[in-house]
């Protein structure tokens, strides 16, 4: 579908003196401030010329005056050494010069003014003859020049740091033909998603694959920040789609601008943009990604200006004003949001040498450590003004999930030096096992939600990531319970696979129950959708890496086939509204995390283990790989683990 801004404009003339009220109603909005500005410039040039003509072109009275030999004359000159006064390039000489010379000079001056006048008139006429497109192109060129200048200013190189061990950015193709073909199929799906986004949604945050146009949600504010481009970069890179990667890099270089009056989610921008940019930087070594990540992080910092230092959920990138979601309990910030900044912020301090980012996340950690936890559980809500918990709801799914994930990953990312984070993780997981993890009558292990002292026997699709987390945290677990946590990971993977297998489409619902005889199925209509989420496949991948049990590849392949069959449309991939219906409606959104996570985890599932090995890389919650930092020699003030 063609948007008004894309209507063919060539050959059209701008109606003179009709500023902002174009006779082309569909173009009215396109006569923007900058165009008006150019036209105003032209007008003012005219006025200046008229003014000049009025004052400088000789009239009869001036002749009379000169002929009388009175007063001064204007002689073009720049040299003031002879005692004259320089007025904008013209010298004023006193009386007593030869009259003939004066006449010649006057004639010369008159001719010059006339010539200048005519030239300016010609230029102005030429400008007005230009089509809208030409004027727009000129404006764009000017804008680009200004942007380039600003970029030069912002592009001060950051201080060099020891490069972490970047192992396994490339890997051989799998030797097994079947696995290779499956991996190629996933790559083809990525190309389909990317190419359609590029064609119909380029620069927008996401794509509407049915309507074939851009899409956005309030988490990205009202700006076109190219969320899909940033989120997809590292997936493109590891898949070897280097032309596509370069297209993305080029867009980011020229267009990604954070000085926008837009209120964004601090959490989402951190995990998708900062995480995506940092991963792209580490994989490709291209400085632009690091610079953009640092610029953006600077824009998020005002969100931390709260009485407690717990950040607001949202911040306006321009004004720095922050606030929380209206729906959150008692004006609270959300555990999974303010608790999912650590990885990216430590990397930012590492790369810039500026401890500001590190101090912000360590402050949050210290504050949480000091607080009482009901039953040892962390509630999902914390008020940033009072520093008190909101409702006592605890979840390993939405609102809580990645907080636990980041405790574990902070430890892994520090080369297992950050033992404080590991302890917090172990404590939290023990409480979760005690209060939230149960076995259903049918023998399925599930993780419920804690609500004011009661366990709700419902598990979210989001919660399914925890299978992978338990497996990842098995090594190094307290009391050497590695086997136990690997087993727990396997049980969660199995339950989540059941939630897929018990649907018509073989795709998992958003939430499923273990209640009233129900086992791993959704009950409410608004829990039956699948929006291309990655968590189940993420767990399959971690389980595959730690066990090499072929069933995980099998389950991943089932999911990939189901996505390709039921979510693929000619304009990309769409979520579906009911996984229990054989002809479900589409939600018409290609989520950016589909490219960042779902397809990346599938690709890794059918790749060799030496591609991004888990001893060297830690994936952020949006599947952006960040290298393990060997910080022993790097001073980051505040935490003994990093000294
Ligand atoms: C992703 O943006 C991240 O994985 C986040 O942690 C929660 N879920 C979405 C995808 O489902």
Q: What is the per-residue pLDDT across 224-235, written as a single tens digit (0 to 9) for each?
A: 999 999 999 999
Query: What are the helix and strand counts (H, E) for the chain?
Result: 21, 21
- Does the annotation count 105 as an active-site position? no
Which is higher by pLDDT, 543 or 148?
543
Exactly one of 231, 244, 263, 268 is catalytic; name it.
Answer: 268
533 lines ligand 1 (CB under 6 A): yes
Ligand 1 atom closest to residue 465's alpha carbon, by position in its atom list: 4
pLDDT digits (tens, 9 = 90+) for 110-142: 887 788 778 777 776 776 666 666 666 666 566
Q: Is the pLDDT of residue 638 over 50?
A: no
Ligand 1 mean position, distance from CA 593 (Å):
7
- Give pLDDT, residue 164: 84
The tens digit of pLDDT for each residue in 233-291 reads 999 999 999 999 999 999 999 999 999 999 999 999 999 999 999 999 999 999 999 99
Taking residues 149-161, report their average pLDDT.
57
Helix, strand, coil abundance in the chain, percent, nearest 5? 55, 10, 35
How many alpha carbons fall within 13 Å on the CB side of residue 592?
31
User: Is the CB of residue 539 below 6 angstroms from any atom belonging to ligand 1?
Assistant: no
Of 396, 460, 535, which is best to mutate to test ligand 1, by the most ligand atoms within 8 angstroms of its C-beta?
535
Parallel, antiparallel, or unpaired: how do β-strands 213-215 and 206-208 relate?
antiparallel
* Mean pLDDT of all residues belonging to the chain: 84
Pocket probe mutation, ligand 1, options 273, 403, 462, max atoms within 8 Å of Cβ: 462
Cβ atoms within 10 Å, residue 380: 30
- Euclidean distance between CA atoms 431 and 400, whole angstroms: 14
For the cut 90, the answer to whether the pLDDT of residue 540 exceeds it is yes
With a 6 A CB cut-off, is 459 part of the ligand 1 pocket? no
What pLDDT, in 10s, does the model give residues 419-449?
999 999 999 999 999 999 999 999 999 999 9
Ligand 1 within 6 A of CB of 541: no
**For 506, left (φ over 0), alpha (ψ -120 to 50), or beta?**
left
Q: How far is the CA of 271 from the centre of ligand 1 (A)?
A: 9
- Is 47 a residue whose pLDDT tops 80? no
Please tell me the predicted confidence (pLDDT) of residue 57.
47
d(CA 499, ligand 1 centre) in Å: 18
In percent, the amount of the chain with pLDDT more than 70 equals 77
The whole-number pLDDT of residue 64 equals 33
Q: Which atom of ligand 1 is nearest to the CA of 461?
A: 11
First to last CA, the chain: 57
d(CA 531, CA 510): 8
Task: Report pLDDT for 119.
Answer: 76
Q: Annotated catalytic, 244?
A: no
Residue 401 bears catalytic tag: yes
Q: Is 571 helix (H, G, I), strand (E, B) or coil?
A: coil
Q: Please state which of the ranges 30-39, 209-218, 426-435 shows the lowest mean pLDDT.
A: 30-39
State whether the beta carbon of 620 lies less than 6 angstroms from ligand 1. Answer: no
- 621 assigned ligand-binding residue: yes
Ligand 1 centroid–CA 600 distance in Å is 13
Ligand 1 centroid from CA 347, angstroms: 20
Instruction: Map out the domains of the chain as residue ranges.
Output: 177-633
For residue 40, is pLDDT > 80? Answer: no
Could you tell which of 264, 597, 623 is best to mutate to test the pocket of ligand 1, judged by most ligand atoms within 8 Å of the CB? 597
pLDDT tens by residue, 172-212: 999 999 999 999 999 999 999 999 999 999 999 999 999 99
Q: Residue 189's closest CA among 568, 575, 593, 584?
A: 568
DSSP-based three-state secondary structure for 458: strand
In ligand 1, the atom with minimum distance to the C-alpha of 398 is 7
**What is the percentage of the chain residues whose pLDDT exceeds 90?**
71
Q: Among 403, 462, 465, which Cα is nearest to 431's? A: 403
| Exposed e or buried b per residue across 583-618, where buried means at least 16 C-beta atoms within 10 angstroms of its C-beta | ebebbbbbbbbbbbbbbbbbbbbbbeeebbebebbb
Closest CA relative to residue 303, chosen from 356, 243, 253, 254? 356
pLDDT at 340: 98
Q: Could you tell me the fold of the domain covering 177-633?
A: Glycosyltransferase (1.50.10)
């Amino acid at each position: 579908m063609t948007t008004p801004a894309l209507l063919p404009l060539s050959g059209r003339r701008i109606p003179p003196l009709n500023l902002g009220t174009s006779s082309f109603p569909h173009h009215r909005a396109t006569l923007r401030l900058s165009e008006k500005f150019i036209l105003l410039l032209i007008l003012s040039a005219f006025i200046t010329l008229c003014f000049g003509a009025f004052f400088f072109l000789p009239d009869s009275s001036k002749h009379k005056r000169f002929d009388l030999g009175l007063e001064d004359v204007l002689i073009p000159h720049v040299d003031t050494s002879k005692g004259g006064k320089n007025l904008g390039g013209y010298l004023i000489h006193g009386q007593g010069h030869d009259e003939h010379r004066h006449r010649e000079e006057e004639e010369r001056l008159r001719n010059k003014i006339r010539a200048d006048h005519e030239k300016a008139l010609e230029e102005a006429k030429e400008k007005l003859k230009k089509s809208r497109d030409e004027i727009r192109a000129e404006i764009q060129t000017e804008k680009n020049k200004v942007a380039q200048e600003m970029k030069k200013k912002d592009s001060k190189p950051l201080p060099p740091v020891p490069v972490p061990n970047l192992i396994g950015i490339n890997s051989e193709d799998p030797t097994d033909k079947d696995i290779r073909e499956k991996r190629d199929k996933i790559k083809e799906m990525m190309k389909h998603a990317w190419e359609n986004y590029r064609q119909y949604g380029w620069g927008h945050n996401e794509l509407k694959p049915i309507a074939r146009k851009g899409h956005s949600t309030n988490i990205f504010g009202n700006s076109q920040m190219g969320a899909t481009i940033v989120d997809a970069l590292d997936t493109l890179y590891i898949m070897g789609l280097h032309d596509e990667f370069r297209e993305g890099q080029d867009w980011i270089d020229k267009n990604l601008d954070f000085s926008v009056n837009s209120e964004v989610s601090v959490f989402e921008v951190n995990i998708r943009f900062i995480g995506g940019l940092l991963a792209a930087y580490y994989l490709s070594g291209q400085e632009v990604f690091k610079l953009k990540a640092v610029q953006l992080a600077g824009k998020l910092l005002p969100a931390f200006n709260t009485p407690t230092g717990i950040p607001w959920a949202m911040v306006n990138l321009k004004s720095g004003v922050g606030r929380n979601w209206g729906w959150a309990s008692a004006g609270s910030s959300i555990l999974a949001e303010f608790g999912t900044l650590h990885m990216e912020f430590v990397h930012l301090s590492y790369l810039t040498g500026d401890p500001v980012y590190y101090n912000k996340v360590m402050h949050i950690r210290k504050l949480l450590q000091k607080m009482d936890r009901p039953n040892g559980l962390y509630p999902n809500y914390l008020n940033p003004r009072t520093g008190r918990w909101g409702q006592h709801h605890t979840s390993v799914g939405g609102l809580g999930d990645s907080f636990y994930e980041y405790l574990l990953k902070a430890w892994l990312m520090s080369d297992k030096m950050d033992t404080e984070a590991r302890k917090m993780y172990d404590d939290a997981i023990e409480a979760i096992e005690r209060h939230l993890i149960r076995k259903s009558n049918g023998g399925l292990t599930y993780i419920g939600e804690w609500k004011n002292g009661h366990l709700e026997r419902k598990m979210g699709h989001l919660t399914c990531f925890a299978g992978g987390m338990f497996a990842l945290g098995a090594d190094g677990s307290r009391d050497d319970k590695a086997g136990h946590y690997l087993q727990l990971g396997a049980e969660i993977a199995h339950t989540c696979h059941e939630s897929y297998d018990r649907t018509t489409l073989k795709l998992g619902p958003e939430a499923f129950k273990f209640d009233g005889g129900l086992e791993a199925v959704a009950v409410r209509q608004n829990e039956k959708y699948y929006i291309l989420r990655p968590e189940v496949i993420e767990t399959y991948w971690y389980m595959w890496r730690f066990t090499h049990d072929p069933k995980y590849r099998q389950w991943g392949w089932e999911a990939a086939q189901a996505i390709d069959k039921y979510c693929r449309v000619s304009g990309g991939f769409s979520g579906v509204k009911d996984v229990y219906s054989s002809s479900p409606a589409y939600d018409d959104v290609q989520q950016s995390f589909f490219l960042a996570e779902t397809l990346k985890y599938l690709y890794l599932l059918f790749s060799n283990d030496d591609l991004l090995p888990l001893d060297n890389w830690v994936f952020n919650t949006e599947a952006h790989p960040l290298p393990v930092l060997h910080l022993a020699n790097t001073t980051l003030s505040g935490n003994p683990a990093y000294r």
